[in-house]
Structure 1
Amino acid sequence: MPTKTPSPGGVQSLSRAFALLRLLAEHHEAGLTLPELAAIAQIDRTTAHRMARFLESAGYVERESGGKRYHLGTAAMALGLRAMNRPPPNSALVSKMKALARLTGDAVFLTVRIGDHGHCLHTEEGSHRIKTFHLLTGTSRLLGQGTGSMALLAKMDNEAVRAHYERHRAEYAAGGLSLLRLLRGVERARKLGYALAGAEGVAGVGIALPLEMGAEAAISIMSTASRMPAARRHEMGAIVGAMFAQGS
């Protein structure tokens, strides 16, 4: 019996539905109205309404109580939380992390952005093992407190960085991180194309990269400061950038 293939119309509907989810993910905090969804997605309002109603019935989209703004629903969040356990072991991203760890001998980290924090989703250890590094998997830190999370912070404009700092001023101050120092790190990361870090006997480099559905992530490589002097950090920045370049 011949296998049925999806109709072009069905594929188009899926594409539009995922586009709406992606938009709602990008505007989750403030939400979007139906006219805004239709305008940004460049589809007619009737189609947007039909898809939003379907996604709402499935729990992937929620509407404000008594309001007209849409946000991601709990079903979408549950999917994301399940994925936060770890990436698929045979994914292209993890395969590249393994290759980088073998090439350099150092630990490679995958950090994803969750709001104002960077969450360490996965670690690949190199031959030069550092006992505490594997413990970082599953932990979260404020953006800017770490190499990968600094690379993610550098994707934000300065106004957003300042607002972010003000939201967490007490936490940054407790760690001795001023707004000026944070902005300097951001500017350096933008200029170089990768973030540099070195403190408390460890050092490394990180680079931000886009993931599916508008998610943000960063790859970083870390080692002891003695193995990662400034010259090697810049060398690693070029290697990581080339290996994880979009589409490579």
Structure 2
Amino acid sequence: IMSIPSSASHSGKTPSGTQSVERAFAVLTAVATAHSSGTTLPALTQVVGLHRTTTYRLLKCLLRLGAVRVDVESTRYFLGPLALELGVSARQQLRLNELLAPVLTRIAEATGDTVFLVVRDGLESVCTDRRLGDYPVKTLIVDVGTRRPLGIGAASLAMLQVMTDKELKEIARANAGQFQSFGTTAAAVLKKARAAAKVGYVSAVVPGVEGVHAVALPIIDSQGKPFAALAVAAIEQRMSQSRQGELLRTIRSEVSRAERLLIKADIQAA
């Protein structure tokens, strides 16, 4: 059962940006609740508690974006392709986290360090899960849900390392403006990705977090595309060359398991 967000007041005042978003989501949620049979403008107006003209204006915007669609004959509203795509994407991420939860747990238990699952989403990477090891000093370098441009962070670089040079250049060019806010450039990201490709893994200090180092490996889907990456972060005193080798062997073993799970579940890169 879906709960309908409480709408704004019935006043005719121009809503703020946040209020407009809240109202649009109230309308979208109401359409989703009645998706099997569809719903009408009068019904939506009553459910969300807005003026008919306000509800219609929000529907027109949602229609234009593809979040809802209207059946011309019945004039009933249904969820549109965009909403359905978002739902599929969300379900896939939940499935991914569920499938790989044991993988993260095993790495954290074996290493004692912090483990991150980072997934590609277009030109961005998203941390979707994290596990803490039992070592007293925790390295919480990113929170679950953190989004960054593809190419920022060890796990993100690990995904780039297996891409073609053409793909690398396209991503670097598209994210060039955002790289600046992280204190780097497209050229620097390309250089790091190419260096990682030569050795087969990423080993790097964590930008903006003093004294922390991370190693990472990509997870490849059934189509040979980098889908996600696993990274382990620890304080630099625990990141000698020999220990990095141990960590990479542990991660590589679990990446192989993860890739088999993904193929079996038919989960692919976005």
- What aligned pairs does 1:1-248 form with structure 2 within 5 A after superposition? 74-84=83-93, 87-89=96-98, 91=99, 93-128=100-135, 130=137, 133=140, 136-199=143-206, 200-211=210-221, 216-245=227-256, 246-247=259-260
Local SS of the residue matching 2:260: coil
* Matched residue, 1:17: none
Deviation, 1:107, is: 0.9
1:197 positional shift: 1.5
Q: Structure 1 CA distance, aligned partners of 2:216 and 2:139?
A: 19
Aligned partner of 2:108: which letter? A
TM-score (norm 2): 0.57
The one-letter code matched in structure 1 to 2:245 is H
Instruction: Report the alpha carbon displacement of residue 139 of structure 1 after superposing the two structures with TM.
Output: 0.7
Q: Is the 8 A contact 1:87 1:121 kept in 2?
A: no
Provide the rounded CA distance (Å) in 1 between the counterparts of 2:149 and 2:243: 26
In the alignment, the residues of structure 2 paired with residue 158 and residue 88 of structure 1 have an alpha-carbon distance, to the nearest angstrom, of: 30
Q: Which residue of 1 aligns with 2:58?
A: none
CA distance in 1: counterparts of 2:117 and 2:203, whole angstroms: 16
| SS class of match (1:236) | helix
3-state SS of paired residue (1:127): coil
Measure how far apart 1:95 and its partner are: 0.8
Q: CA deviation at 1:134?
A: 7.8
Please tell me the residue identity of whatever aligns with 2:211: G
Aligned residues of 2:139 and 2:235 also touching (Cα < 8 A): no
1:34-73, Cα deviation, whole Å (9 max, x unpaired): xxxxxxxxxxxxxxxxxxxxxxxxx9xx9xxxxxxxxx75
Distance in 1 separating the partners of 2:160 and 2:136 = 28
> What letter corresponds to residue 215 of structure 2 in structure 1?
V
In structure 2, the CA distance between the partners of 1:215 and 1:77, relative to structure 1 (3 Å rule), is farther
Question: How has the CA–CA distance of structure 1 residues 170 and 76 changed in structure 2, closer, same or farther, with 3 Å as cutoff?
Answer: closer
**Structure 2: where are the runs of 5+ without partners?**
1-65, 70-80, 262-270
Aligned to 2:268: none
Secondary structure at the counterpart of residue 238 of structure 1: helix
Aligned residue-pair number? 177
Distance 1:157 1:75, change over 3 A: same
For 1:88 and 1:159, the matched residues in 2 are separated by: 30
Task: Give the Cα separation in 2 of the matches to 1:94 and 1:210.
Answer: 17
Contact 2:161/2:194 (CA < 8 Å) preserved in 1?
yes
CA drift at 1:142? 1.0
When normalised by structure 1's length, the TM-score is 0.62
State which structure, 1 or 2, has the greater radius of gyration over its C-alpha atoms: 2
Q: Secondary structure at the match of 1:102?
A: helix
| Structure 1 unaligned residues grouped into runs of 5+ | 1-58, 63-71
